[in-house]
Amino acid sequence: MPRYALKVEYHGAPFAGWQRQADQPSVQGAIEAALARLEPRAHTIAAAGRTDAGVHGLGQVAHCDMEREWDPFRLSEALNFHLKPDPVAIVACARVEDDWHARFSAVEREYLFRILVRRAPETHDHGQVWRVNNPLDIAAMQAGADLLIGRHDFTTFRSSICQAASPEKTLDELTVYAAEGLSGPEVRFRVRARSFLHNQVRSFVGTLERVGAGAWSPGDVQTALDARDRAACGPVCPPQGLYLKRVGYPVDPFG
C-alpha cells in the first residue's frame, strides 16, 4: 500500500484534540473520514504529535496508507474538498517510503506560543492567543527560560497523566521574544526539542509568565526544576495560544 506524508494545518478550537475519540470531534477523525470518502474503508493515520484540545497546527505531519497510487497534489486537493467545512487543511502531500513514519522518523518538533499583551478582549485573535492584561519583562523571562535548556528531569513540568516512560528530555531551544501581532504587542515563545512530555510547553509558558509578571524570579524556575515535583510548577497556561509549528526529519519529505 503506497504511503503518503501529509502536512496539516488546523484551528484547534472545534476539536477535542488531535487523537480520534468515539464521541467528540478530533482532527484525526476528520482526516480519516475524508480519506474514507476517497477509498471507502476504515483508515488509521499516524501523526508526529498528539496536540491537546484547543491547540493549533501550522505544520503537523501525518501519514496515511492508500490502496492505489495517487498523485500527491490530487490527493491533497481531494482531501481538502472532503474536509470542508472543518478548519483543517492539507497544505502539502508527498509520496514516501513504506517504512517512513510521521512520528518515529521525526528528529525535532518546534512549537510556537503567543501571548497577547493588552487589557481589551481580543476579537480577531479570539481563540488563537492567550491574553494577559499587563506588560511582561521579556529579559527576566528569557533568564528563567535559559535555566531549562539542556537535558533535565522535567517531572515538575509534565502532566500528572503523562504516559512517557521517563521524565528526562533534552530541550534544545526556549526563546522568548517580542512581536507585533494583528491585535497588538505579543510575547512569543519558540520551543524546540526532539520530543516533549504531556503539557510540557504549556507548563513552561505558564511558569515563565509568572516571571515576566514579577511574581517569580528567574531563580525560582531553577528551584521548581530541581524540585522534580508537579506541585512546584507555575500555573499551566491555556491551550489556545499554542501551535505545533514544524516537524523536522533527516530529509524533508515535502522538499
Q: Would you state the pLDDT for residue 173?
A: 98
Same-domain status, 101 and 115: no
Q: Would you state the pLDDT for residue 179?
A: 98
CB 156 within 8 A of CB 233: yes
Beta bridge partner(s), residue 113:
189, 242
Instruction: Please give the single-letter amino acid code of residue 102.
Output: A
Q: Would you state the pLDDT for residue 245?
A: 98
Same-domain status, 131 and 29: no
Same-domain status, 93 and 125: no
Same-domain status, 147 and 28: no
Distance between CA atoms of residues 113 and 107, nearest Å = 20
> What is the per-residue pLDDT across 158-200, written as a single tens digit (0 to 9) for each?
999 999 999 999 999 999 999 999 999 999 999 999 999 999 9
Same-domain status, 95 and 113: no
| Domain's final residue, options 84, 105, 126 | 105
Three-state helix/strand/coil letters over 24-39: CCCHHHHHHHHHHHHC
Same-domain status, 118 and 70: no
Q: Would you state the pLDDT for residue 109?
A: 98
Q: Is 151 exposed, middle or buried (0-12, 13-18, 19+ CB in 10 A)?
A: exposed
Same-domain status, 130 and 144: yes
- Percent of the chain past pLDDT 70, that is, above it, reads 100
Q: Please give the grid coordinates belonging to residue 250.
A: 533527516
Domain total for the chain? 2
User: What is the SS3 assignment for 141?
Assistant: helix
| Domain's final residue, options 105, 126, 153 | 105
Q: pLDDT in tens for each of the 255 residues of the chain?
A: 999 999 999 999 999 999 999 899 999 999 999 999 999 999 999 999 999 999 999 999 999 999 999 999 999 999 999 999 999 999 999 999 999 999 999 999 999 999 999 999 999 999 999 999 999 999 999 999 999 999 999 999 999 999 999 999 999 999 999 999 999 999 999 999 999 999 999 999 999 999 999 999 999 999 999 999 999 999 999 999 999 999 999 999 999
Same-domain status, 49 and 65: yes
> Which one from 52, 65, 146, 153 is the annotated catalytic residue?
52
CB 57 within 8 A of CB 31: no
Q: What are phi and psi of 123, to 5 degrees?
A: -115, -70
252 assigned to some structural domain: no
Beta bridge partner(s), residue 110:
192, 246
189 assigned to some structural domain: yes
Assign residue 142 the CATH number of its domain.
3.30.70.660
β-pairing, 3-10 vs 88-96, is: antiparallel
Query: Would residue 65 show up in a list of annotated catalytic residues for this protein?
Result: no
Assign residue 14 the CATH number of its domain.
3.30.70.580
Q: Would you state the pLDDT for residue 224?
A: 98
Q: Which domain holds residue 200?
A: 108-246
Q: Which pTM does this prediction carry?
A: 0.97
